[in-house]
Amino acid sequence: MRDHDVVISAYGVTMPPMIYGTAWKKERTASLVEKAIELGFRGIDTACQPKHYQEAGVGQGVAAALQRGLPREALYLQSKFTSLSGQDPRQIPYDPAAELSEQVAQSFQRSLDNLQTTYLDCLVLHSPFPQWQQTWEVWQAMEDIFARQGVKQLGISNCYDLRYLEKLYQTAKVKPAIVQNRFYAQTDYDRDLREFCRHHGILYQSFWTLTANPGVLSHPIVQTLMQKYRRTAAQIFFRYLTQMQIIPLTGTTSVLHMQEDLAIFDFALTADECHSMDSLL
């Protein structure tokens, strides 16, 4: 990925336009993260949630890359605080009996230890709580970490209710810099929510981007662009999203697909072609 292919957040954080996702990698996590960085990925997404992530493996992969001379500042590391409801009760990474604010503090410290780093580039609330007061308590604890310079910016994931995001934005002292959601038709591709994000300088990250959109990938519009640019359907879709200021996550375990994902920045769709792609969402 070239140096100028970056995105700058509202908090001045430099982010890559595509991020490598590490969920479900299990014992392959370390080697896959190391390979992704070796090939050119500079953004890594993980979570302090042993149920779906092997965060310590992410840290091992990152450490291997840093040992080869890559500076820590060249990487964008993003992790998440996951509530008890999203954790495996057999391996909770913090004291489940502690106050929410203490759970956040313990989870954050565990992430730092797992990732072998002294700070995170972004700390994300994995999902809103059923009760607003719980979400607000957690967000304030995240703001405390931000105030201590443990993290450069904050975000929220799995937030599909625009009114909820509006309330968080209006109430928070440290505004969300990131929203990370599933990108699929069932939520109307978050059109209204993404418009709110654009208006308020919040960056939108998409996950489940390929798996949830087989109809888009097989659409004649995409097929025509594949032939013109001699690219795969995934490359056309990812390139379109990045040109629309959406930051896709890719969790591929294929070295070939990693290389293809990074190669999307070697071409660009025209404005008319992007407009034709708009009709698919």
Which of 206, 194, 205, 151 minimizes the C-alpha distance to 174?
151
Mean of the per-residue pLDDT values of the chain:
97
Residue 1: the pLDDT is 54
- What is the pLDDT confidence band of residue 4, given thresholds at 50, 70 and 90? low
d(CA 44, CA 114): 13
Give 274-281 contacts, CB < 8 A, sequence gap 24+: 274/240, 274/243, 274/244, 276/221, 277/221, 277/222, 277/225, 277/240, 279/221, 280/216, 280/219, 280/221, 280/222, 281/189, 281/191, 281/216
CA dist 11 and 9 (Å) reads 5
Based on DSSP, count helices (H) and strands (E) in the chain, helices before strands: 11, 10
* Residue 246 binned pLDDT confidence (cut-offs 50, 70, 90): very high
The strand pairing partners of 246, in sequence order, are: 204
Task: Render pLDDT for 41-61 as a digit per residue (tens, 0 to 9).
Answer: 999 999 999 999 999 999 999
* pLDDT at residue 19 greater than cutoff 80: yes
- Reading the block at residue 69, the tokens are 């001379």
What percent of the chain has a predicted confidence (pLDDT) above 90? Answer: 98
Half-sphere exposure of 240 (CA within 13 A, CB side): 26
CB 160 within 8 A of CB 184: no
Place of tokens 């050119």: 40
Compute the average pLDDT of residues 238-262.
98
Arithmetic mean of pLDDT, 82-95: 98
With a cut of 70, say whether residue 3 has pLDDT above it: no
* List of residues 6+ apart from 224 with CB closer than 8 A: none
Fold (CATH) for 7-211? TIM Barrel (3.20.20)
Tokens read off for 31:
């080697």
Give per-residue pLDDT as tens, 141-181: 999 999 999 999 999 999 999 999 999 999 999 999 999 99
Say how far residue 231 (Cα) sits from the centre of its chain: 24
Rg from Cα positions in the chain = 18
Q: What is the average per-residue pLDDT within 240-262?
A: 98
Q: What does the alpha-carbon distance between residue 177 and residue 111 come to, in Å, rounded to a whole number?
A: 20
Label residue 2 by pLDDT band (50, 70, 90): low
Give me the residue spans of the domains in the chain: 7-211
Lowest mean pLDDT segment, chosen from 1-10, 19-28, 155-164, 213-222: 1-10
| 20 three-class SS | strand
Secondary structure, 3-state, 201-236: CCEEEEECCCCCCHHHHCCHHHHHHHHHHCCCHHHH
- Specify the pLDDT at position 5: 76
- Provide the percentage of residues in the chain whose pLDDT is more than 70: 99
